[in-house]
Structure 1
Amino acid sequence: MSVSAFNRRWAAVILEALTRHGVRHICIAPGSRSTPLTLAAAENATFIHHTHFDERGLGHLALGLAKVSKRPVAVIVTSGTAVANLYPALIEAGLTGEKLILLTADRPPELIDCGANQAIRQPGMFASHPAQTLSLPRPTRDIPASWLVSTIDNALAALHGGAVHINCPFAEPLYGEPDDTGLAWQQRLGDWWQDHRPWLNAARRLESDPQPDWHFWRQKRGVVVAGRMSAEEGKKAARWAQTLGWPLIGDVLSQTGQPLPCADLWLGNTKAVSELEQAQIVVQLGSSLTGKRLLQWQASCTPEEYWIVDAIDGRLDPAHHRGRRLVAEVGDWLEKHPAEKRQPWCTAVPRLAQQAWQAVTARRDAFGEAQLAHRISDYLPEQGQLFVGNSLVVRLIDALAQLPAGYPVYSNRGASGIDGLLSTAAGVQRAGARPTLAIVGDLSALYDLNALALLRQVSAPFVLIVVNNNGGQIFSLLPTPRSQREQFYLMPQNVRFAHAAAMFNLPYHCPRSWAELEAALADAWRAPATTVIELVVNDVDGAHTLQQLLAQVSQL
């Protein structure tokens, strides 16, 4: 028996099984132990192949692909610490609902805990974070192919979000020409190879039933909180709330058009909070709220009922309100709970939202990151998409911008880390194949700098704006001790990104005015390539502008 040939057949069954669950994108890192999986993926014409030399970035690339494609994305890595580097992307997917399938090659059991090279304990290494975990045996003809394929089908049928970790040990030799070894074993699956369906169909999706008393609650005073949802869902949610006459507080990821802009400013005004206290029901559509004032209001509000609608399982309510947790796709839920035309019941909130917007607009001419956040809707590419980084940049856009309804916006707001942001943005571009604007801070860009290699391969114009405020200026908004703030929190690096762009042969601009930025953007949108634009701003101006606006709007 040829071990290498049977390893390939075993891997081919695994990879073919994935195609029956909608997997089209597969992300591969270099490695020897993963050779059976890599070559089986290479031979399967169903897959679109993506490669990267950094497993942490590879996991985030897969995350970005899954965000846009709405399909599960597979990842292949070799054994050892290569596997551990997938942890951040796995955690993020578990919190935001993207589907990842992590195929981790491993040493066989006899090489674990005996000093063998690149051998660690991989089964269960991700603890409770995967949605499903499979620890496969070493490939053997003693186990029928039907067991292998049905085991994978059973795990993937239960995957409604998050990651499946499939650990795949392979014994050496790993290389060799294919032969007839295992052909009969593989052929026992019969015409499954010519079919397109799973071997085992195991549908187990549970969704909340329509609420029988909705006709009663839709006549009450309500508030809609819009969190992360799709572009189409965002437009539906905005129309739904408008019909009901309920104020809609839209997050940066809601894609609702934020009909009451600058919520993170006006929610600091006691008049707004007092009026919202009259709400009898709050319906939250989607999770992952960004704004600090919105989170504070969400935690303190006391309606008769608080409903949360999201396809992700779990409570999703850190304030533990009395109400209902409704597991459903937002768009489907809205269709099952139609709005009834009613007059708006809020008067103070819309007025304060307009005044807050005017206060922000009055400051738009200064050249800084707060003004960039406010202006960002002017710089979005037509028929494009936006990827927003974490820390200060996403908070400024959430508080100071008004994004178009239905314009696709993506971010990693589950665990809200700064790792892998450029890699995720690369995946978003590849899956969407649209012009893409991505905005991150300087530390975020440094953290994932080697992902610029991924950005050399884009199918449409891609603009990466690095807002360089020289450190983690988000900590300027927090009560960090001033004497230790720079050394232990901000950690300024005093770097520029021109050399990084040059190393990866990417066009680079460092505009010093809005006119220069707009000229650089106009050039960038003309070609299917990546352009790096570094916006060098004064260190604390963005944080200070936000604080000044908060104080101003609170006194309106």
Structure 2
Amino acid sequence: MSTSVFNRRWAALLLEALARHGVRHVCIAPGSRSTPLTLAAAAHRSFTCHTHFDERGLGHLALGLAKATREPVAVIVTSGTAAANLYPSLIEAGLTGERLVFLTADRPPELIDCGANQAIRQQGLYASHPTLSIDLPRPSPDIPARWLVSTLDSAMARLLHGALHINCPFAEPLYGGDEQQYAAWSAALGDWWQSSQPWLREEDAHHVWQQPDWPSWRQKTGVVLAGRISAEEGVQLAEWAAMLGWPLIGDVLSQTGQPLPCADLWLAQPQARQLLEKAQLVVQFGSSLTGKRLLQWQERCQPEEYWLIDSLPGRLDPAHHRGRRIRASVGEWLDLHPAQNVTPWAADLALLAQEAFDSASEYLADRFGEAQLAHRLPELLPENGQLFLGNSLIVRLIDALAQLPAGYPVFSNRGASGIDGLISTAAGVQRATAKPTLAVVGDLSALYDLNALALLRHCSAPTVLIVVNNNGGQIFSLLPTPELERQRFYCMPQNVDFSHAAAMFQLHYACPENWAQLRQAVAQGWHHNGATLIELQVPPSDGAETLQHLVQHRAVN
């Protein structure tokens, strides 16, 4: 029984150390080997504990919490494939920067590679994807408490982005024992227990410097690209670009208000590309651009220099331009590089963008479907709420056809751009903020994360999930996939409806057949305490064909 008691003391110190570094949310899956960690988290007054029976969804729930809080979030799972199921969310966090702390319980070394139940090789399980990894030893009172706490402190101080994997072997027994045992081991940390600071404080010496030649660059012709940045940064960047007189091409995740909307349409026009060729400097803020035409232009543009500003490490420029890769937060960089009020040099782009937007409005006025949903999505947004967007076709349609409000919070998983865990991530975003939340995903994405509808039963504010059911992965209709094999091997239509799923998880449900019914269903959703699943049943290829039509129409005008 002494082993079980010391396991819990070890785990309690580990969780206390994480709390000192801003962890407030802990996501827990059921399991026996993780009992010391689970009980330590449950007993800690500073934590809000979330539970889910599906570890893959649990990891994405934590991802959503981390996105919205911008704080580290901890995840506790048992040993074996439970740990493996966290892999997709860990990969996504590594690409988009959310800080996750994965605590994977493990069998002790003597039970590995000998046929023991639920024992796999967990050291190095996630290969190069974690930002940091710690393989803890089997808990032992021979190891000083100060070693454990300083090990955690050092790792958390260096966790500026991505995931920290802490592998935690625990020997049996896991339950019972005299709780007063090994009190001296914990007490060796003295009055640290009464403080709120880490045992070891490491400081990051990273500083952002002003580019000394910025005063000369800001007098030239420039173009601003906005990828995935925060809502506050989006508003600040839009004002900065407007003062400079530089055109700003904003991604759907930029939250800039997209002052030149429908870029995926008007970039198809030769006159737009010819005008943009005059840019001497292109400055990109944030990564993960969505639009196909924007990505094509970004790859082919040849300014004198190309600057990319993002707080994440790495090049983040798949076109490998000559220029500067500046690691800094967008807001911090903008403060150091003030704009100079100049007359816009590419005013004709605003006319082209408005024409594209008006053309889309006219074409979609009486065409109910996913393209119309994308174009008119701002009409459905809840006041003081937030938006979560899925991947594949729907996010491309919204990027190409909508103009979202400046500063309105938009979340998505556009790092690895997978369809796994999207509903779980949206649930995490909602729980973190307690705001009304609109989420939009495709039918295959919803099927892939159907378990996560259980998480939506515990929303703290009205939540509306729109499932665009175009019967398969219609993103492949935009790609030159072989026509004969497209349905069977790419789109994979499932011929399902989601009314039974909503009933199974006790969610409100609607299946509107026109825009008026959709608006009414969404409006009713904002008056429900809980979640509403709205299924939009649309012709399979209509959205992809509509986008192709609008792009081609712009290309010849």
TM-score, length-scaled by structure 1: 0.99
Q: 1:191 to 1:477 in 2, by over 3 A?
A: same
Aligned partner letter, 2:397: L
Is the CA contact 1:17–1:153 (under 8 Å) kept in the aligned structure 2?
yes
Aligned residue number for residue 473 of structure 1: 474
Aligned residue number for residue 405 of structure 1: 406
Aligned residue number for residue 215 of structure 2: 215
1:31-430 matches, within 5 Å, as 31-364=31-364, 365-430=366-431
Does residue 5 of structure 1 match 2:5?
A: yes
Q: Secondary structure at the match of 2:75?
A: strand
Is the CA contact 1:271–1:348 (under 8 Å) kept in the aligned structure 2?
no
Aligned residue number for residue 540 of structure 1: 541
Aligned partner letter, 1:544: E
Aligned partner letter, 1:114: C
Q: Secondary structure at the match of 2:513?
A: coil
Aligned partner letter, 1:203: E
Deviation at 1:334, TM superposition (A): 0.6
Deviations 1:45-100, CA, capped at 9 Å, x for gaps: 00001000000000000000000000000000000000000000000000000000
Aligned partner letter, 1:435: P
Deviation at 1:208, TM superposition (A): 3.3
Q: Secondary structure at the match of 1:363?
A: helix
The whole-number CA distance in structure 2 between the counterparts of 1:288 and 1:417 is: 13
Deviations 1:441-467, CA, capped at 9 Å, x for gaps: 000000000100000000100000000
The whole-number CA distance in structure 2 between the counterparts of 1:115 and 1:129 is: 28
Is the CA contact 1:385–1:435 (under 8 Å) kept in the aligned structure 2?
yes
Aligned residue number for residue 18 of structure 1: 18
Q: Secondary structure at the match of 2:438?
A: strand
Deviation at 1:178, TM superposition (A): 4.2
Aligned residue number for residue 505 of structure 1: 506
Aligned residue number for residue 492 of structure 1: 493
The whole-number CA distance in structure 1 between the counterparts of 2:61 and 2:203 is: 28
Q: 1:205 to 1:269 in 2, by over 3 A?
A: farther
Is the CA contact 2:387–2:437 (under 8 Å) kept in the aligned structure 1?
yes
Deviation at 1:349, TM superposition (A): 1.5
Deviations 1:86-119, CA, capped at 9 Å, x for gaps: 0000000000000000000000000000000000
Aligned residue number for residue 517 of structure 1: 518
Aligned partner letter, 2:442: G
Aligned partner letter, 1:464: L
Deviation at 1:366, TM superposition (A): 1.0
The whole-number CA distance in structure 2 between the counterparts of 1:363 and 1:11 is: 60
Q: Secondary structure at the match of 1:318?
A: coil
Does residue 435 of structure 1 match 2:410?
A: no
Is the CA contact 2:77–2:104 (under 8 Å) kept in the aligned structure 1?
yes
Deviation at 1:205, TM superposition (A): 4.9
Is the CA contact 1:207–1:327 (under 8 Å) kept in the aligned structure 2?
no
Q: 1:439 to 1:446 in 2, by over 3 A?
A: same
Q: Secondary structure at the match of 1:375?
A: helix
Q: Secondary structure at the match of 1:439?
A: strand
Aligned partner letter, 2:175: Y
Deviations 1:389-443, CA, capped at 9 Å, x for gaps: 0000000000000000000000000000000000000000000110000000000
The whole-number CA distance in structure 2 between the counterparts of 1:23 and 1:344 is: 45
Is the CA contact 1:260–1:354 (under 8 Å) kept in the aligned structure 2?
yes
Is the CA contact 1:157–1:202 (under 8 Å) kept in the aligned structure 2?
yes
Q: Secondary structure at the match of 1:239?
A: helix
Is the CA contact 2:231–2:408 (under 8 Å) kept in the aligned structure 1?
yes
The whole-number CA distance in structure 2 between the counterparts of 1:123 and 1:191 is: 34
Is the CA contact 1:311–1:328 (under 8 Å) kept in the aligned structure 2?
yes
Deviations 1:158-203, CA, capped at 9 Å, x for gaps: 1111000000000000011442222101110111111111111111
Is the CA contact 2:220–2:280 (under 8 Å) kept in the aligned structure 1?
yes
Deviations 1:370-404, CA, capped at 9 Å, x for gaps: 01000000000000000000000000000000000
Q: Secondary structure at the match of 1:295?
A: helix
Q: Which runs of 5+ in 1 are unaligned?
A: none
Deviation at 1:554, TM superposition (A): 1.1
The whole-number CA distance in structure 2 between the counterparts of 1:97 and 1:138 is: 30
Identity across the alignment (%): 69
Deviation at 1:515, TM superposition (A): 1.1
The whole-number CA distance in structure 1 between the counterparts of 2:433 and 2:244 is: 33
Is the CA contact 1:75–1:102 (under 8 Å) kept in the aligned structure 2?
yes
The whole-number CA distance in structure 2 between the counterparts of 1:205 and 1:122 is: 33
Aligned residue number for residue 452 of structure 2: 451
Q: Which runs of 5+ in 2 are unaligned?
A: none
The whole-number CA distance in structure 1 between the counterparts of 2:127 and 2:204 is: 23
The whole-number CA distance in structure 2 between the counterparts of 1:555 and 1:415 is: 34
Is the CA contact 2:2–2:177 (under 8 Å) kept in the aligned structure 1?
no
Aligned partner letter, 1:4: S
The whole-number CA distance in structure 2 between the counterparts of 1:73 and 1:168 is: 17
Deviation at 1:354, TM superposition (A): 0.9
The whole-number CA distance in structure 1 between the counterparts of 2:361 and 2:302 is: 33
The whole-number CA distance in structure 1 between the counterparts of 2:234 and 2:21 is: 27
Q: 1:456 to 1:352 in 2, by over 3 A?
A: same
Q: Secondary structure at the match of 1:325?
A: strand
The whole-number CA distance in structure 2 between the counterparts of 1:117 and 1:381 is: 49
Deviations 1:124-158, CA, capped at 9 Å, x for gaps: 01000000000000000111000000001111111
Deviations 1:333-360, CA, capped at 9 Å, x for gaps: 1111110000000033211111100110
Is the CA contact 2:100–2:162 (under 8 Å) kept in the aligned structure 1?
yes
The whole-number CA distance in structure 2 between the counterparts of 1:177 and 1:372 is: 59
Q: 1:481 to 1:207 in 2, by over 3 A?
A: farther
The whole-number CA distance in structure 2 between the counterparts of 1:94 and 1:200 is: 25
Is the CA contact 1:363–1:371 (under 8 Å) kept in the aligned structure 2?
no
The whole-number CA distance in structure 1 between the counterparts of 2:197 and 2:307 is: 37
Which is worse superposed, 205-214 or 478-487? Answer: 205-214
The whole-number CA distance in structure 2 between the counterparts of 1:194 and 1:292 is: 55
Deviations 1:262-283, CA, capped at 9 Å, x for gaps: 0011111111111101000011
Q: Secondary structure at the match of 1:547?
A: helix
Aligned partner letter, 1:82: A
Is the CA contact 1:145–1:189 (under 8 Å) kept in the aligned structure 2?
yes
Q: Secondary structure at the match of 1:362?
A: helix
